[in-house]
Structures are given as structure tokens and as C-alpha cells.
Amino acid sequence: MGAEGKPIAVRKCGTCGGGREDSSLCGLARSGLQSDKLKRTHKVYEVGQNIYLEGDNSDGVYCLKAGLIAIRKTDVNGNSAVVRLVQPGEAFGHRSFLANEKHAGTAEVLVKSKLCFIPKASLDNLLAESPDVAVRFTRRVARDLREIEELYLLTTTQPVRKRLAHLLLGLRTRYANEDGETDETVLELPLSRQELAAAIGTRPETIARTIKKLEEDKLAFFKGRIVTIPSTALLQEDFEADY
């Protein structure tokens, strides 16, 4: 479904709180376009809502301003798995738009989210009228896809411990409570244990063993969805270690 809502005046991107001024959609605004050329809208979605479903037609491109989105895919047996977590400042839906294909996954809201949305017709016209903007957009999308490939490489070649540490460190930058005086981090996971396992390409029982080992090594402590990381520096060192 489309993200109908109040139009946003686009004068300077990166001010929405997303924090990634080089995202594919922010690149359009920074290219010198007038605000009336970039017909964006915004909409707020509640937890559990779907922005679009697997198999839906692509009706535009989205950028997450705040919240957390899970991209889920369903296998032939009907099992759903999280294949990507979209964090603030990141675009999504752009691959389907460029390929003129139906969405290959479902975009589900995990944390109350606010989105920017550019309708397909508006974006088609904009890219056709401005070749230089089209080049910038496709280059940024290519970088987005490279990052996804790198994440896929991580989840298929690295130990589960590294994958989990990588995910925790990534979520920490957006969802952690930190007092600024210590290196301790407390965050609330937006995923269940089963979803956590799916997000890093492993099984729930493997996640349970990995969590137990992290707790034994005093690198992270789990209580329900609350995770306490005594030292993010030590967790980062463990992630970067060769073992």
C-alpha cells in the first residue's frame, strides 16, 4: 500500500533524524533539486503493520526516518525469515522499483516507524528529467546493495558468535540507553529469540548456546529482550578477534 500523508518540503535532507546523509533518497535532495520536484510524503506506522507485502507491486521507494523495519521472505514451506533489518536513514523498496518487479519480501514494522515515501510516478519522471540525479541515485543504490552483500557474506561465513555481536553492536547505535559516563549499554531487542536467529541465519538452539557463552565471558547479559553489554569496547574487540 502507498504511504499517503502530509507532503514534506525538501530543502535539506539529513535533517529528519535518520542520520545517514548519503542514503539514496537523501542524495536526490542534495543534488540541488527544488522541493516541489521531489514529491515526498511521510507516514507513521505502528508495530506489527505491514508497509507492503511479498508479491505486491512496487509503488515507490521508502526511507526510514525513525523506528525499525524487518524485511521478511517466505520459503516454499511457508516459513518466514527476516532477511534484512532496515534502520533509520536507510532506504528500502528501491531494488524492486529499479527492476520494475514485485516486492520480493514483506516490510513489517518492528518499532513504531516514520517513513519518507516517493511515489513511483514522481520518481520515474524525476530520474527521466535529470540524468545526473539518476546516476547519483543508481550509484547510491549500488552501494546499498554492496552493503547487503557484505552482510550476507558475514552471515554465511562467520561464526554465530560474530554474527550476534555484529547485530548487537548495530542495534546499539539506534536503540541503546547509555549514560555517557561508562561503556555500559542497555538495549531492548526488537526481535524475539526466534526472529533473532532468523536474522543472522542460524537456529534458535544455536542462539541459546551462543548467548550462554557470551554471558559466561561477561560480554553481554540477556534478560528477556533486555540486553546489558558491560563494555561495548570489549564486545567490539571480540567481534574483530580472529578465532
Residue recorded with cell 570489549: 234
**pLDDT higher than threshold 60 for residue 101:** yes
Cell of 175: 536503540
Cell of 99: 527492476
Q: Which residue spans within the chain are E strands per DSSP?
A: 6-7, 41-45, 50-52, 60-74, 80-86, 91-92, 106-119, 176-177, 185-188, 221-223, 226-229
CA–CA dist 194, 204 (Å, integer): 5
Model confidence pLDDT, tens digit, residues 12-65:
454 444 444 445 555 555 554 555 566 778 889 998 899 999 999 999 989 888
200-208 CB contacts, 8 Å cutoff, 24+ apart = 200/155, 200/160, 200/163, 200/164, 200/166, 200/167, 201/155, 201/156, 201/163, 202/160, 202/163, 206/160, 207/160, 207/164
Instruction: Give pLDDT, residue 150.
Output: 67
Model confidence pLDDT, tens digit, residues 117-165:
888 888 888 788 777 777 777 777 777 777 666 666 666 678 889 889 8
Cβ atoms of 29 and 10 closer than 8 Å: yes
